[in-house]
Chains A and B, each alone.
Chain A
């Protein structure tokens, strides 16, 4: 039911989708500005998309996505996210590089490979304490850290430490770079939820309390014995144990503010 689109058409679709955001129409000028192309090329691209039934576009009227265009763009954005997650969370590439590369990769790989990649990511991360143990050790090795637990000999032998692998540590982290578990973020830091690990009822409970992808939150304080932590999310205070916080991958938006008192 979906005919293949050229990579540039996919880019157009994604941009319209992003600009449309809250459902209002998008101006041709906006698209042109965003992609750095001329107005006539946008018009011609829109004609192609409109023929494919993905957008509605009349002269002097804003561009709107049709339901199938929206679904298609959704899938594209999702594909993009999956790639970014793979690059940042498994290969530990920094977010900026990952974003750029994902843009190029997403047009190059087919649906089957992409789906496998998503499956792989899920399989590795589904049980972060059990199955992903080897992954943590591999990451530690890349970072040149020593494992407290005896490492798998093959990882030690085969994998040399790598240069430029970000460390998931509250102090070393720079704003806007890479994802880290909420449990390693210090008090006073504002961050955005990018991804949740783990499944099942506790994940559901967190979702019911408003912890979803994209929601901003701030760590307010840590309990006297270091656990649990108090976070401010959606305008109220929620406390979580570090175990739960470790399941929430966030992107730090801002360096810790200096306490005012």
Chain B
């Protein structure tokens, strides 16, 4: 059997590519759909009615084939390398003009194209009537109307794409203005005989050279002889002299001219666009006076919700695990195996799983903000503040996603095209308190602070992370990465009512990853911690407790002097070290440590971790707070460090991050503890 056909989905951001893709492939793919911008090419499979298998690629959204940011580069590379035999160009029917601009470029790639005229329902609601047949004639490629979120038209779409792919029907590029065409005609013969250039790409390359595309000019794809580059420069200079504009601007103007012309021809208005609810909502959310307070209120509501709704739910799970531990303790014979299961697995993994409700609520909130389009408004509202700290309004999106998990957040920095902006954002994102730190806070706040103040204490930690991140950004911007910031040019997508399905899928995927992590990394770390904190056993009759005599106990004692200024005893010190693997492990380590440390005689009425912590004389609210500050700031988990190394392009930055965050964490936790002691007395 032949290799499966590969079809790429390309389109502007917010054109609904991903919903079409999901409708065709079934929602969940082997690359998780992170809440956030699609930053990687995602793969999926679809089987046609005749049994043919088709592979689908979901490319990151892009406005143009001129790549600015890392995610746009990803999309462009996939198309240039001919990873696909056909392109589905997804076009938002309610925003035809700008979406057609990308189509004018896609048809130059010498790959068959089909247009998915998506969200036709939304266009209809806005009173737009689109003449699909006429559009098809004007653009010269098949056009299929679709509604991605309902799955309408997707079968026709994929069949049309397979058809053009099989026929190998190359689209005909649009003619640009006479000056540009003349310049292209001059350059084309020069590149015609280049090694490795397919004949069908001649026009594309000539245009890109005329536009002075940095990557193509520097020969990343084709080695270009110097005399060709010189001649291209001459043609560019002539054109510029003649028309007083850079050729790349002339080309863009021409393309928009075509797009606007086509849009005018095919779009009719059935009714005057009504004054919409969304406009009214928007006038509050981005209001000059109310915009910022509303943002703070929304954030506050999110954290209150996480704590107030999540708290009772997680107590329920805690009770269930407590019962499971007690039951197993009773039914199993005393010995290493019982200790392994009860103190290692149940308390370690259970201690983490208890916080699933909070994690799910947090992701629910983020998914809602993202799917409604509020996230972009938030970036709009805070850009001025971010700018003052040397960041970018768009940095807000990765930073907010950082509340979920640093790993996708660091990947989401790909929306930033300036390397300085991007590195700064990468380095400060880990201080946006991720959901893995939430269990630590939830545990300690629950144990040491009254319930009515829990939300405020939690918000203070998140707030501290944000403020420190901003200060650090300012510091990096004025030392490591000097220079002007990238221009802030961002689309404000239309408000959309998110489908319950999409939101639930988002939330479920994240929660499932969390559960998987509990079953793998955290289980393994729990077992290691159990072993380290159980062995070697102290000699019989010794005064010293099992835990203190164990390897973990001794390691904790060894670093205790270093951590003492921050108020941590050896038990907390051990927990901190184990948190390198993943921050939830801090909780499971504490569970294991206090589980192993608990008097075996009390089996049957196993105290919860919360009660054990409260009973420990070394613990009090101040130590708990200093500890939470430390956990907030110190080294992000190993996976996050690895992602930083990959995205920043060097381990040097990852190493810097580890030292910088851990140093700051120690300094601030110490400051909190010492100042707190003075105040409390």
Q: Is the CB of B97 within 8 A of A223?
A: no
Tell me whether B66 and A209 are in contact (CB under 8 A).
no
Q: What A residues does B490 contact at CB under 8 A?
A: 238-239
B437: min CB distance to chain A, Å: 30
A238 and B491 contact, Cβ closer than 8 Å, known pairs A223-B380, A226-B384, A228-B384: yes
| B residues in contact with A207, CB < 8 Å | 248-249, 252-253, 256
| Interface contact A244-B253, CB-CB below 8 Å | no
Partner of A210 from the list B97, B244, B288, B493 (CB cut-off 8 Å) is B97
A58 to B289, CA, bound (A): 65
Determine the chain A residues whose CB is within 8 A of the CB of B261 once the complex forms: 22
Any B CB within 8 A of the CB of A24: no
Whether, in the assembled complex, A118 has its beta carbon less than 8 Å from a beta carbon of chain B, the answer is yes
A258: shortest Cβ distance to chain B, in Å? 15
Contact of B292 with A by CB under 8 A: yes
Bound form: Cα–Cα A74–B179 in Å: 9
Q: How many residues of A contact B (CB 8 A)?
A: 46
Structural contact, B246 and A199, CB atoms closer than 8 A:
yes
What residue of chain B has the Cβ atom nearest to residue A244's Cβ? Answer: B487
Contact residues in B for A209 (Cβ distance below 8 Å) = 63, 98, 489, 491
B contact residues around A67 at 8 Å (CB): 178
Supposing A74-B179, A228-B488, A239-B488 touch, asked if A234 and B286 sit within 8 A by C-beta, the answer is no
Total of A-B residue pairs, C-beta within 8 Å: 134
Asked if A201 contacts B489 (CB within 8 A), the reply is no
Contact A228 B393 (CB under 8 A): yes
Task: Kindly state the separation between the CA atoms of A162 and B561 in the bound complex, as whole angstroms.
Answer: 77
Per a CB cutoff under 8 Å, which of B243, B252, B256, B287 touches A78? B243
Bound CA span A209–B96, Å: 13
Say whether B380 contacts A202, CB under 8 Å: no
B241 contacts partner chain A, Cβ-Cβ < 8 Å:
yes
Q: Which of A169-222 contact B (CB under 8 A)?
A: 196, 199, 201-210, 212-213, 215, 221-222
Partner of B244, one of A82, A228, A244: A82
* Cα–Cα, bound, A215→B96 (Å): 15
Residues of B244-301 whose CB lies within 8 A of A: 244, 246, 248-249, 252-253, 256-257, 260-261, 283, 286-289, 291-292
Q: Are B242 and A208 in contact (CB under 8 A)?
A: no
Q: Which residues of A contact B260 (CB under 8 A)?
A: 234
| Bound Cα distance A75, B178 (Å) | 12
- Pick from A82, A206, A230: contact of B286, CB below 8 A: A230
Nearest CB of A to B263, in Å: 8
Contacts of A115 in B (CB 8 A): 241
Would you call B508 an interface residue if the criterion is a C-beta within 8 Å of the partner chain's C-beta atoms? no
Which B residues lie within 8 Å of A228 (CB)? 380, 383-384, 393, 488
Tell me the residues in window 202-251 of chain B with beta carbons closer than 8 Å to chain A beta carbons: 241-244, 246, 248-249
Alpha-carbon separation in the docked complex, A205 to B101 (Å):
13
Using Cβ atoms and an 8 Å threshold, which residues of chain A touch B383?
Answer: 223, 227-228, 239, 241
| Neighbour of A241 across the interface among B95, B288, B487, CB < 8 A | B487
- Could you say which residues of chain A place their CB within 8 Å of the CB of B94? 235
The answer to whether A204 touches B488, judged by C-beta atoms less than 8 angstroms apart, is no
Contact of A244 among B68, B292, B489 (CB under 8 A): B489
B contact residues around A130 at 8 Å (CB): none
- State whether the Cβ of A136 lies closer than 8 Å to any Cβ in chain B: no
CB of A26, distance to nearest CB on chain B (Å) = 18
In angstroms, Cα B486 to Cα A244, docked, is 10
Chain A nearest CB, measured from B318 CB (Å): 42
CB distance from B505 to the nearest CB of A (A): 27
Q: Which residues of A contact B178 (CB under 8 A)?
A: 67, 70-71, 74
* CB-defined A-B contacts under 8 Å, sample of 13: A82-B244, A199-B246, A204-B66, A204-B249, A204-B252, A227-B383, A227-B387, A228-B383, A228-B488, A238-B492, A239-B491, A241-B387, A244-B489
Q: Which 10 A-B pairs have the closest CB atoms?
A: A225-B384, A207-B252, A237-B492, A224-B291, A208-B64, A202-B487, A212-B253, A241-B488, A234-B97, A227-B384
Task: Known pairs A207-B253, A210-B98, A224-B291; list 9 more (Cβ under 8 Å).
Answer: A201-B68, A206-B489, A207-B248, A210-B256, A221-B283, A224-B292, A235-B94, A235-B96, A239-B492
